[in-house]
Chains A and B, each alone.
Chain A
Amino acid sequence: MDIKQKISWGVSFSSLALVAGMVSYLGLSNNDKTNNHSSQQNRQQSQDGAGLPSSQGDSFNQTFGSQINPNDGSNFDNSTGTNDQQDQFSTDGSLSAHHRGFDTTTGGT
């Protein structure tokens, strides 16, 4: 083997080792990619937890009003906001079978 060939093998081997080292260092394998993404998420969550409002939280407040006191709101029944699918009094005047055909009932307390 002449000296030229030795140099060529050496360069090839070094290049391969360099590429493998870079791949390992930069974490371009699938597992590393997932882990790095999770890390980024974790960092984001800890930032949120540190007092930065998440976009979901903003959206909630915009929908329900930022003045709502959760303690007050909790007294509303879960049925809040149910639509007319099962309701008894519709705008076209038709009746459903709710209360056996009555819109509502009275009987005192």
Chain B
Amino acid sequence: MFQYQFNSMSTMVTISISHELFANDLLPVYKQFEFVENLCSRFRPDSELSKLNQQLENEISISREMYFILTEAERFYRETCGMFNPGILEALETNGYTASIETIRGKELTDAVPKDIKAVRTFPVTFNEKRQTAILHATIDLGGIAKGWVLDRAAKLLEQYGFGFINVGGDLRVFGELPRSLNIGIENPFDPANILTSLQLAGGAVCTSTSAKRKWFVNGEERHHLIDPRTGTSSESTIISATITARTAIEADVWAKTVLLLGEKAGQEWVNKKGLGTVLINQNGEIWRGGGL
């Protein structure tokens, strides 16, 4: 196996592949990640997302890729009964997440005074398919779904060269036909240097959502990036880490977040209903497995 790494989306992208790649093979993959940052980063003022967020209630022509991601977001909004909602950006910022995580992680944000915290109930975008336009009714964040989307795209590019997997900060997508299942260690959310448990993955994707890593403080109160749209504030779910397997990375990413936000009881019911391979770790370090994992 050959391994290649580069930085993107504030994390390390690692490609493990059966076939040696040259720079010309890797460049399109790297470009995909660069492209998605230019498309969906809310911290890049010239990204398409940032421009879109500045034009609320205006009908705007959007790129084919942005249209696809937003319509996928709407599909997940419906599938999760609103638990996945990209319209949480205002709530996220109200809770203090106004800059890249590297600059706020673990810090006390005295300037961020929570105000007007409210639930986010409606889907924030109206589409016109014919004109390929969108009207935003609230600012949106596409961080997680964009990461899943680009993982799936990168996997498509890489499968022509051989088999292997891409790991982007713990979100993992398999490509090609693996000769055997991957043995994947699941980090202890309270001590990421240690592996708490594991799962086997033969194909598709696995993603983990955790409230333990993107954390900061507002007036002494701990906040994290997983906003519960029902309250508009950092989720109080007792699940600290939710790992989900799915056919695609975009699904695994969205569903991992959804299950964590739903909480232990509702989350377990939800994954059982959907038959998703799941590993949940709660605040006491207890592990729950579903979907045959």
B243 touches A (CB below 8 Å): yes
B3 A105 Cβ-Cβ under 8 A: no
A106 partner, pick from B21, B171, B180, beta carbons under 8 A: B171
Contacts of A60-109 to chain B: CB distance below 8 A: 63-65, 67-68, 72-73, 75-77, 79-84, 87-93, 95, 99-109
Stretch from B52-60, B73-81, B108-116, B183-191 at the A interface:
B183-191
Interface residues of B (CB under 8 A from A): 1-7, 10-11, 14, 16, 18, 20-24, 26-27, 30-31, 34, 164-165, 167, 169-172, 179-180, 182-187, 189, 192, 195, 198, 206-210, 212-214, 241, 243, 256
Which residue of A has the minimal Cβ distance to B34? A72
| Cβ distance A64 to chain B, nearest Cβ, rounded Å | 5
Instruction: Classify the interface of chain B: helix, strand, loop or mixed.
Output: strand
With a cutoff of 8 Å between Cβ atoms, the chain B residues found around residue A100 in the complex are 185, 195
Question: CB within 8 A of A103: which of B6, B21, B183, B241?
Answer: B183
Contact partner, A65, options B16, B22, B195, B212, Cβ 8 Å: B22
- By beta carbon, the residue of chain A nearest B185 is A102
Within the complex, what minimum Cβ distance (angstroms) separates A17 from chain B?
64
Q: Residue of A at shortest CB range from B194?
A: A100
- By a CB distance below 8 angstroms, the chain A residues around B24 are 64-65, 67-68
**Quick one: which of B1, B27, B241 contacts A108, CB cutoff 8 A?**
B241
Interface size on A, residues (CB 8 A): 35
Query: Is B195 touching A108 in the complex (CB atoms < 8 A)?
Result: no
Within 8 Å CB of A84, what residues of B? 1-2
> B27–A68 contact, CB under 8 A?
yes
Name the 7 nearest CB pairs between A and B, nearest first.
A107-B187, A108-B210, A102-B185, A77-B5, A109-B169, A65-B24, A108-B208
Q: List 22 A-B contacts (CB under 8 A).
A: A64-B23, A65-B27, A68-B23, A75-B7, A76-B4, A76-B5, A77-B6, A79-B3, A79-B5, A80-B4, A80-B26, A82-B2, A90-B1, A91-B1, A101-B183, A102-B183, A102-B185, A104-B172, A107-B208, A108-B187, A109-B169, A109-B210
**Distance (Å) between the CB of A18 and the closest chain B CB?**
62
A contact residues vs B (CB 8 Å cutoff): 63-65, 67-68, 72-73, 75-77, 79-84, 87-93, 95, 99-109
Additional pairs, 11, CB under 8 Å, beyond known A75-B30, A106-B207, A109-B214: A64-B22, A68-B27, A79-B5, A80-B23, A87-B1, A100-B185, A102-B183, A103-B165, A106-B186, A107-B170, A108-B212
Q: How far is the CA of A18 from the CA of B79 in the complex (A)?
A: 102
Q: Which residues of A contact B192 (CB under 8 A)?
A: 107
A102 vs B184: C-alpha distance when bound (angstroms): 6
- Residue on A with the closest CB to B33? A75
| Nearest CB in chain B to that of A104: its residue | B167
Given A81-B4, A104-B167, A104-B172, residue A76 in contact with residue B243 (CB < 8 A): no
Q: Decide: B180 and A104 in contact? CB cutoff 8 A.
A: no
Q: Report chain A residues within 8 Å CB of B198.
A: 102
Closest residue of chain B to A94 (Cβ to Cβ) is B180
